[in-house]
């Protein structure tokens, strides 16, 4: 009888433990901080007016008179959009709904880059959304490159406090002469300040805005352990409510056109004012919440990769 009782007790316990292991991070009871709403402060631009095709035109579908778009990854190709303008500083945001189901190896990216103009010394500010296998959640990876230092990317990785496949969520970037800030649903998750002590690591040249979905099998999910399984294709990401405002600039000018000059290729930077020069106390507290609860990797703690830590980590 005691053995039977032990067996009957053990089975539910094991079941609970197994369920606990499989519970995703966004199923946990998070109390999300209140923060100022930055999305919606600036005019939204329809996808067809703000972007042009970058690659995979057959997998790009414009909807609702071009106000939003679906981008697909199939076995033959991924797809992507690129902004019609280049920017030197600004606010960049999109509402994104990620593909549901098994999505290992899939990479959805919303980012700024000038690799087309400066192939050997390019800058980049990345929001990368990395697909999951059946046991894990989607992952948010932020990254910064400057002056072509692709071997020294500055990655940080986070889990979500929600299911990013169920509805659209906002992914946003502020880039100005004070700092770079990454936001998810208006909550800042990372700030990278401009400092004279490490100014060479700060993106400084005009960039285009990109939205892409592509096959990252070689690295995206657990270092490439789980490649894309095309039996679950097509993988479709929805892009809506895009905002792109800043100093529209000509990267061929040396130095690049300033947001304060009077040249026809520039416009005033709307995120240069005091409201965008520093995070508020409320935003700082929210960022601490996100980083303490949801960040699981930072390059500044990767001693196996960096024998000498990058200067901003100190």
197 pLDDT above the threshold of 70: yes
Among 18-22, 117-121, 202-206, 278-282, the minimum mean pLDDT is found in: 18-22
For the segment 242-293, what is each residue's pLDDT rounded down to a tens digit?
A: 999 998 886 566 555 555 554 444 446 788 777 789 999 999 999 999 999 9
Whether residue 124 lies in the annotated active site:
yes
Task: Show Cβ contacts of residue 251 under 8 Å, excluding neighbours closer than 6 positions.
Answer: 86, 88, 114, 117, 118, 205, 206, 207
- Give a yes or no: residue 299 inside a domain: yes
- Give a yes or no: residue 119 inside a domain: yes
Residues 7, 128, 155, 241: which is the catalytic one?
A: 128
Tally the domains of the chain.
Answer: 1
Kindly provide the b/e burial profile for residues 239-272, where b requires at least 16 CB atoms within 10 angstroms of the residue's own CB. Answer: bbbbbbbbbbbbbeeeebbebeeeeebbbebbbb
- Give a yes or no: residue 47 inside a domain: yes
- The CATH number for 50's domain is 2.60.120.200
- Give a yes or no: residue 9 inside a domain: no
- Give a yes or no: residue 51 inside a domain: yes
- Give a yes or no: residue 256 inside a domain: no
- Give a yes or no: residue 103 inside a domain: yes
State the DSSP H helix or E strand holding residue 2, giving kind and residue range, or none if neither.
helix 2-22
Closest by alpha carbon to 96, among 236, 221, 305, 228?
236
Name the pTM for this structure. Answer: 0.88
Assign 15 a pLDDT band (cuts: 50, 70, 90): very low
Residues 53, 124, 191, 312: which is the catalytic one?
A: 124
Q: Which structural domain, as residue segments, surrounds residue 163?
A: 41-250+264-313
89 pLDDT above the threshold of 90: yes
- Give a yes or no: residue 14 inside a domain: no
Instruction: Copy the structure tokens of residue 102.
Output: 């098994």
For the segment 142-162, what is each residue's pLDDT rounded down to a tens digit?
A: 999 998 866 678 999 999 999
The pLDDT value given to residue 314 = 82
């Amino acid at each position: 009888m005691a053995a039977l009782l032990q067996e009957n007790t053990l089975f539910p316990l094991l079941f609970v433990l197994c369920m606990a292991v499989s519970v995703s991070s966004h199923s946990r009871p998070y109390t999300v901080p209140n923060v100022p709403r930055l999305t919606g402060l600036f005019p939204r631009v329809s996808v067809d007016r703000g972007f042009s095709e970058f690659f995979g035109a057959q997998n790009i579908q414009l909807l609702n008179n071009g106000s939003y778009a679906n981008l697909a990854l199939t076995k033959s190709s991924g797809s992507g959009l690129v902004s019609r303008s280049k920017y030197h500083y600004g606010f960049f945001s999109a509402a994104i709904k990620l593909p549901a189901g098994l999505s290992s190896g899939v990479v959805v990216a919303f980012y700024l880059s000038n690799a087309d103009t400066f192939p050997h010394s390019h800058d980049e500010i990345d929001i990368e959304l990395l697909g999951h296998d059946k046991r894990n959640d989607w992952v948010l990876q932020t990254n910064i490159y400057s002056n072509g230092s692709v071997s020294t990317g500055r990655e940080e990785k986070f889990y979500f406090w929600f299911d990013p496949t169920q509805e659209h969520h906002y992914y946003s970037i502020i880039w100005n002469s004070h700092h770079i800030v990454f936001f998810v649903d208006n909550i800042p998750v990372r700030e990278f300040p401009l400092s004279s002590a490490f100014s060479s690591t700060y993106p400084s040249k005009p960039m285009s805005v990109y939205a892409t979905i592509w096959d990252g099998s070689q690295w995206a999910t657990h270092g490439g352990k789980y490649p894309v399984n095309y039996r679950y294709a097509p993988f479709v990401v929805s892009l809506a409510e895009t905002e792109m405002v800043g100093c529209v600039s000509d990267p061929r000018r040396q130095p690049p056109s300033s947001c304060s000059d009077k040249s026809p290729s520039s416009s005033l930077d709307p995120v240069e004012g005091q409201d965008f020069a520093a995070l508020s106390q409320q935003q700082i507290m929210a960022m601490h919440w996100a980083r303490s609860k949801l960040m699981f990797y930072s390059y500044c703690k990767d001693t196996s990769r960096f024998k000498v830590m990058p200067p901003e980590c100190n």
